[in-house]
DNA sequence: GATTTTTGCGAGCAATCGCTCGCGTTTGAA
DNA sequence: TTCAAACGCGAGCGATTGCTCGCAAAAATC
């Protein structure tokens, strides 16, 4: 049932997603009304529904865009590095810095993915990226802490991802000059946990 | 403007808070409508408003009750222990276990305090307990990591509290038989960070 | 027993939500 | 140039929200 889009329409869709990202970041998912999103995009409510059948579809499309961008940013920073033989500090810099930068550059990201009350379809959208991240963290764990049982490795990966997600808002909320210190603490938490696992 | 309450009324108020805790835990703050809370308490919407002037007042009263209970649970477990001379594992058990138990026993707690979109008046209610917890964590830090500058100590306390808050839902979501392992990971994260601070 | 206050009800109000509909304008293909 | 399809509008629908109001039963006070 794909609809034929004009170039103008594709542009509008991108603008709507930009507006939705703004609104979600500022108001949260529930309080960001479709009328408000449309107003931020400079269009009428009816026009929004010409491109997306529902608010949830807008969120899903935005989530997909975030996932794509995130994967690109992460892959480009990760490009075939020697995870096993690397200094722990170097590894943390390599992994954490681009992810933090992505989160800072896309304030709407966590509003979509970190909410406990999101519609189930959104959780489906976020599942691939979550699984991909967990997988990558598990492969790092495999290289750095070889003796780990699979169940323990999966649990530790969940812990690491969770801690990262929890600390990111702290970094984002800190004033500009405090950010390096907050990022250092984030790396200290992750590094401390990793060394504790190896012991 | 205090209103005279009968014993029956006081009981009703407690029942309403119980119902609100249930509803907030299950549906989240926004989706827990006042009519739903009243229905769970077995009363009519009008009756609810005889005891609380607004939904926010219900949440504030519930938050106050949580704060009181939490403080009691925490103080009783903390009763004048030798924080400085203690083994790190012992210290973590002493501090973490009662807090985890409280969070598991009160599922509505995090629904009220962990939401980024709560009304500002609720944030005021949660501020005393947050400040108290941060203060206690800072005093522990003072004893265990003496060389820390005040700003760093405050930052580290924020990190520790944040990590705890982030891990608790992981513990709560885990199946019963996995909980000890999840709690062990929580302690490992906190312990790893603390030892990394001392180094 | 008489009176006031508290407790209790549930229909329904005003506001807001996601979303639709009717109709006009612009665009691209023929 | 024609015409169907895509784009665009904004009033407003049906549902839901937090909350009110008029009125009745129960309890406390006299």
Lowest average pLDDT, out of A30-34, A53-57, A117-121, B183-187, goes to A117-121
| Å between A60 CA and nearest CA of chain B | 21
Average pLDDT, stretch B138-155? 95
The count of CB pairs under 8 A between chains A and B is 81
Pick the range with the lowest mean pLDDT from A19-28, A82-91, B13-22: A82-91
- Mean pLDDT for A138-151 is 94
Distance from C-alpha of B121 to C-alpha of B118, rounded to nearest angstrom: 8
Which pLDDT does position B78 carry in this prediction?
73
Task: Please indicate whether residue B162 or residue B85 has the higher confidence score (pLDDT).
Answer: B162
| C-alpha distance from B1 to closest chain A C-alpha (Å) | 33
CA–CA gap between residue B58 and residue A185 (Å, rounded)? 37
| Inter-chain touch A117–B30, beta carbons under 8 Å | yes
Taking the CA of residue B5 and the nearest CA in chain A, the distance in Å comes to 36
Token pair belonging to B49: 């408003």
Distance CA A99, CA A148 (A): 25
More confident residue, A76 or B116: A76
Q: Does pLDDT of A72 surpass 60? A: yes
Please state the rounded mean pLDDT for residues A180-185.
Answer: 98
Strand C at less than 7 A from CB of B34:
no
pLDDT tens, position by position, A2-58: 788 999 999 999 999 999 999 999 999 999 999 999 999 999 999 999 999 999 999
Q: Is the Cβ–Cβ distance between B189 and B139 less than 8 Å?
A: no
In chain A, pLDDT over 90 holds for what percent of residues? Answer: 75
Residue A117 and residue A32 in contact, taking contact as beta carbons nearer than 8 Å:
no
Between A193 and B72, the higher pLDDT residue: A193
**Is A148's pLDDT higher than 70?**
yes
CB of B4 lies under 7 Å from some atom of strand C? yes
Question: What is the arithmetic mean of pLDDT over A151-164?
Answer: 97
The pLDDT of B105-110, averaged and rounded, is 92
Residue B81 confidence class, pLDDT cut points 50, 70, 90:
confident
Chain A residues with CB under 8 Å of B28 CB are 116-117
Please give, one letter per residue, the 3-state secondary structure of B154-165: HHHHHHHHHHHH
The conformation of residue A98, written as its DSSP 8-state character, comes to: H
Query: What integer pLDDT is reported at residue A1 of this predicted model?
Result: 58
Here the tokens at position A97 are 């810095």
> pLDDT-based confidence at B93, cuts 50/70/90?
very high
* Mean pLDDT computed over every residue of chain B: 91
Residues on chain B touching A169 (C-beta within 8 angstroms): 116
Q: Which two tokens stand for residue A3?
A: 């609809």
What mean pLDDT is predicted for residues B66-82?
82
- Place A158 in a pLDDT band, splitting at 50, 70 and 90: very high
pLDDT computed for residue B62 by the predictor:
95
Name the residue closest to C8, CA to C1'.
B47
Domains located in chain B, CATH noted: 1-53 (1.10.10.60), 55-198 (1.10.357)
Å: A12 CA to C24 C1'? 20
B30 close contact with A: CB closer than 8 A? yes
User: Tell me, what's the pLDDT at B4?
Assistant: 86
């Amino acid at each position: 049932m794909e609809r034929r889009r004009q170039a103008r329409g594709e542009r509008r869709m991108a603008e709507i997603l930009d507006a939705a990202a703004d609104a979600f970041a500022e108001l949260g998912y529930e309080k960001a009304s479709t009328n408000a999103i449309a107003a931020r995009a400079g269009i009428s409510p009816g026009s929004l529904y010409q491109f997306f059948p529902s608010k949830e579809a807008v969120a899903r499309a935005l989530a997909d865009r975030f996932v794509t961008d995130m994967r690109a940013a992460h892959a480009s920073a990760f490009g075939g590095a020697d995870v096993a033989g690397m200094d722990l500090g170097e590894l943390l810099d390599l992994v954490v810095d681009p992810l933090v930068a992505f989160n800072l550059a896309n304030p709407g990201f966590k509003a979509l993915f970190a909410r406990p009350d999101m519609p189930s379809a959104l959780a489906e959208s976020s599942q691939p990226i979550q699984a991909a991240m967990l997988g990558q963290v598990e492969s790092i764990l495999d290289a750095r802490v070889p003796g780990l049982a699979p169940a323990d490795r999966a649990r530790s990966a969940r812990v690491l991802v969770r801690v990262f997600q929890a600390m990111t808002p702290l970094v984002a909320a800190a004033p500009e000059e405090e950010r390096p210190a907050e990022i250092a603490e984030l790396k200290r938490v992750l590094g401390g946990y990793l060394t504790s696992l190896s012991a």
